[in-house]
Amino acid sequence: MKSLRLYGPGDIRIVDEPLPTPGPGEELVRVTAVGICGSDLHWYSESGIGDVALSRPTVLGHEAAGVIEAGPRAGLRVAIDPAIPCEKCEQCRAGHAHFCLALRFAGDGTTDGALREFVAWPSNSLIPVPDALGDADVAMLEPLGVALHAVRLGGIRPGERVGVFGCGPIGLLIIQLARAAGATTIVATDVLEHRLAAARQAGATDATPVAGGSERTLLRATTDGHGVDVAFEAAGVDDSVETAVALAAPGGTVVVVGIPSEDRTTFTASTARRKGLTVKLSRRMNRVYPEAIRLVAAGLADVRSVVTASFPLAEHEAAFRTAAGRDGLKIVVRPKP
């Protein structure tokens, strides 16, 4: 089979490898679609994320859809949950599997991901999906789950004002879910006009380009001087974190979702302190695939709208170049025709 392995910064190659052999409790899955995530781009450009560095050639990709290839469930279309928790540690037993002390995660350095034609994956991490969802739609259930987890951390209540700072796919899905949660005002920022247009289409009531901080004054006026009750930082840059803190209302909540390249996040402490803000950091998601599927089925989340281009595995260079250039929104790779 063909696999796409990362060897170093910008060095990603197609290699021929034997089919994986499923172990106990695993099934062989033919991979049909994989989204390129912002974290994949960190690995691709920096060979690591934060304090975790590439230690061996690794297969990236954790937003994935597939079809079970053999066994009693052969032919079943599934979402591939990238997280494999131990199910035994204190965090797992407490219902926080995304904090598992021995968590394995697809494409995260030591566990090969889904950018290959086949994977052997634990059966309990293969979630059946409705036939109405296309392969790319199924792959987008993972970023929708990340957005859903962040929105739950924010605790949006009907009638509240919300800010989303960074309008990539995760930010756009947060906007959709904030609208579904009853937010009446949703302000958004980004540096790219096509993403601001997508934010408006997703439900933002005001989407303003980043302009060195001056956009904060404009957006505060949009909220009648109140600011926002819940602010989501989804760009992974300090300027967006600062905007979230600046626009959050006193007693409000800031949820940091983005991953910074420099493994450091800063904001003005006095502003956050004097407002008594609650600052939360969001990590991946925690077993929300069933809810994500129901949201799409009910028409409350449109995952298809965030996918703007699709490439076969053989055109991986163009796929990563397009994703890294922020050309469009979500880029999907199709490992198996």
End-to-end CA distance of the chain: 12
Say what the pTM is: 0.95
**In Å, what is the CA distance from 101 to each residue of 31, 118, 133?**
28, 27, 33
DSSP 197-208: HHHHHHT-SEEE
- Please count the residues of the chain: 337
Distance (Å, whole) CA 141 – CA 133:
10
Interatomic CA distance for residues 52 and 104, integer angstroms: 13
Distance between CA atoms of residues 204 and 199, nearest Å: 6
Q: What is the mean pLDDT of the chain?
A: 95
- Per residue in 126-143, pLDDT tens? 999 999 999 999 999 999
Any residues with CB less than 8 A from the CB of 102 and at least 6 apart, and which? 85, 86, 89
Q: Above 80 in pLDDT, residue 337?
A: no
Q: What percent of the chain shows pLDDT beyond 90?
A: 87
Residue 191 has pLDDT above 90, yes or no: yes
Does the pLDDT value for residue 50 go beyond 90? no
Neighbouring CB atoms inside 10 A of 30's CB total 15
**pLDDT for residue 51 is more than 80:** no
Residue carrying structure tokens 């995760």: 170
Delimiting residues of CATH 3.40.50.720 domain(s) in the chain: 147-281
Count of alpha carbons within 13 angstroms of residue 87, beta-carbon side: 5
Mean pLDDT for 98-123 is 93
The predicted-structure confidence for 241-276, as pLDDT tens digits, reads as follows 999 999 999 999 999 999 888 889 999 999 999 999
Phi/psi of residue 139, nearest 5 degrees: -60, -30
Residue range(s) occupied by CATH 3.90.180.10 in the chain: 2-139+302-334
Architecture of domain 147-281: 3-Layer(aba) Sandwich (3.40)
CATH class of 2-139+302-334: alpha beta
Residue 224: predicted pLDDT: 87
Relative to beta strand 248-256, strand 278-281 is: parallel
Residue with tokens 């910064």: 9
In the predicted model, is pLDDT for residue 336 greater than 90?
Answer: no
